[in-house]
A and B are shown apart, each in its own frame.
Chain A
Amino acid sequence: MGRRHSLGDLSYGLVIGTLAALALLIIVAPVVIVLSTSFTEGRSLKFPPTGFSLQWYEALFDPSKSRQIHRAVLNSLEVAAWSTAFGVLFGSLAALGLARSRNRLARVADGFFMSPLVLPGLTFGLAALMYFTLIGFRPSLNLIIAGHMIVTVPFILRTTAASLSQLDPALNDSSQSLGASWLYTLRRVTLPLIAPGIFAGAFLAFMASIDNVPVSLFLSTARTDMLPIRMWGMMESTLDPRIAAVSGVLITAAFLLMLVMEWTVGLTRRMRE
């Protein structure tokens, strides 16, 4: 009996361990490989890379050679900043409005506001293109900002609603019974307490906007190019090796961002909860 168990346990450890190691390899290896090929001396992206040089990074940072990429980066940052700003404004107001209603209409409204998360992004992207074109708007960054706001606001709504649900209603009541106005209570009691939730949602929304493909694919044009779409163009026909340098920059940025978030808000601890 005992022997059969130890054999079973051995096979358990072996199978689960191997599969988990495979998972880690699949997650980590491509990132490491891309990072190392971006420093290649060669003209193509082979692995293992030949020699060491910063040629593709130099090409990427060259203002005249890579003007289109720089333009796309600036557009992406601008769209992410504005769509997150509008998302924080509208989203946290809506979360406050929905927080204490328990009726059917409030639940329907909540489901409606969250629906961009499950709806295929391409369907909304195409719908937005048709809508804006047919009612006579010209393509512009403003339209992309509007589209991104719709698909990223659910993140803000969800994290803000979560912090509001943990808020002790007695705080609100006591503030008001002591004579504070509704606005004063909001400013001095509620907002400071839910600020971490709003901030976490804003961070997720900003990242989702930077990475958004389906909406940008339909709404961006040559003049309003967005980074993910430009990168897609760099991979589509002939592989442009500068994309390895773009990837290297983005990998480093993601890594630093993870460290900063870990130190400031304990990101991984929050994500586990």
Chain B
Amino acid sequence: MNKLAEWQLTLPLALAFAAIFLAPLLMLVGVSFFSDDKITQPGFAQWVKFYGDPFSYKVIADTMLLGVKTVCATILVGYPLALVYLDAPPRLQKVLIFVIVMPLLLSVVVRTFAWIVVLGREGVVNQLLLSLGIISEPLRLLQTELGLVISLTQIEMPLMLLPLISVMSRLDPNLRDASAALGASRWRTLFTVIVPLSMPGLVAGCLLVFASSTTAFISQTVIGGVRLIYLPLLIWQQSLVVFNWPFAAVVSIALLISVLTVVSALSWLGRRSGGYVHG
């Protein structure tokens, strides 16, 4: 079979993507340039309405900040866990990887629900603190950003740990031994040897966690409630509650652009750090 014919094997998928991926996205952009929610009058009114309102910028900033906070929290506890995994004997490694991977097979909705039971008024955290006498009445943890970030940390953790562990396991163990033999403390070895070498995994993890937490509609609405407004909630309200499709289209383009900007900045960083390590 010649080259041309082999290339044709991509045609079915290419046609499917053109018809049910590219065409819908182009239509989304088209719909955003209609001024009324009946989609009859072309115009820029919805763009002006969204970008002329200071509230929109607050929602965009809050959404991006939520992603950044989740990324920081997953690094803070996830990176040490990856280090422990690296030093663990093979048998323990097997158990750890099982524990880390299993949440991935568990529905995001179940993981979200688990945090309602943990953080609720009658939840585990409140019961524990009350019985220890640390607090006298239940704390409000649900419908706060703190509660949401804690929950997202668990929900997104596997996405940080898997790329980290896969990069770290390929590190030459001799490098750490050499660093120790030359007199570096473990902290110094961590920050001057392990962290720079694991940068590609760290960046990949940040990228996945950021993209996933900023668009985690169910976790955001169920744990964050309706008072914490992020872009996904706004898109849902405008499209399925208010039925203002052009405005929803404008908001979802804002989500698309802000997520893709951060993701491409991160992957550019990742390529640079990768070059630094190998070059």
Question: Which A residues have a C-beta under 8 Å from some C-beta of B?
Answer: 1, 4-5, 8-9, 11-13, 15-17, 19-20, 22-24, 26-31, 33-34, 37, 44-48, 89-91, 93-94, 96-98, 100-101, 106, 109, 112-113, 116, 118-124, 126-132, 134, 146-147, 149-150, 153, 157, 182, 207, 210-211, 213-214, 217-218, 227-228, 231-232, 235-236, 239, 243-244, 246-247, 250-251, 254-255, 257-258, 262, 267-268, 271-273
Contacts and interface: CB of A to CB of B under 8 A. Distances in A.
B99 A28 contact: yes
Interface residues on B, range: 35 or more
B13 A91 contact: yes
Contact of B24 (A94, A128, A231, A262): A128
Contacts of A227: 107
Contacts of B124: 29, 33, 47
B72 interface: no
B116 A29 contact: no
Given A11-B187, A150-B16, A231-B113, 19 more contacts: A5-B185, A8-B185, A12-B190, A19-B76, A24-B81, A26-B154, A34-B110, A47-B123, A91-B13, A94-B9, A94-B13, A100-B6, A101-B6, A213-B218, A214-B217, A228-B109, A235-B222, A254-B102, A273-B166
A31 to B, nearest CB: 6
A46 B24 CA distance: 45
Interface string B93-112: 01001111111111111111
B98 A258 contact: yes
Contact of B107 (A46, A109, A211): A211
Contacts of B110: 34, 231, 246-247, 250-251
Contacts of A134: 27, 31, 39
A214 B215 contact: yes
Given A16-B80, A130-B24, A232 B222 contact: yes
Interface string B121-160: 0111001000000000000000000000010011001000
9 contacts: A19-B81, A24-B81, A27-B99, A37-B117, A45-B120, A116-B21, A126-B28, A232-B222, A271-B97
A251 B106 contact: yes
Contact of A23 (B7, B77, B107): B77
The residue among B113, B122, B253 with the most chain A CB atoms within 10 A of its own CB is B113
A172 to B, nearest CB: 11
Interface of B: 1, 3, 6-14, 16-17, 20-21, 23-25, 27-28, 31, 39, 76-81, 83-84, 94, 97-118, 120, 122-124, 127, 150, 153-154, 157, 162, 165-166, 169, 183, 185-187, 190, 211, 214-215, 217-218, 221-222, 232, 235-236, 239-240, 245, 248-249, 252-253, 255-256, 259-260, 263
B115 to A, nearest CB: 6
B97 A9 contact: no
Nearest to B22: A112
Contacts of A231: 107, 109-110, 113
A4 B185 CA distance: 9
A267 B97 CA distance: 10
Top 3 closest A-B pairs, CB basis? A97-B9, A30-B114, A131-B24
A22 B78 CA distance: 9
B101 to A, nearest CB: 6
A12 B186 contact: yes
Contact of A20 (B81, B103, B162, B232): B81
Nearest to A210: B107
A232 B233 CA distance: 14
B12 A94 contact: yes
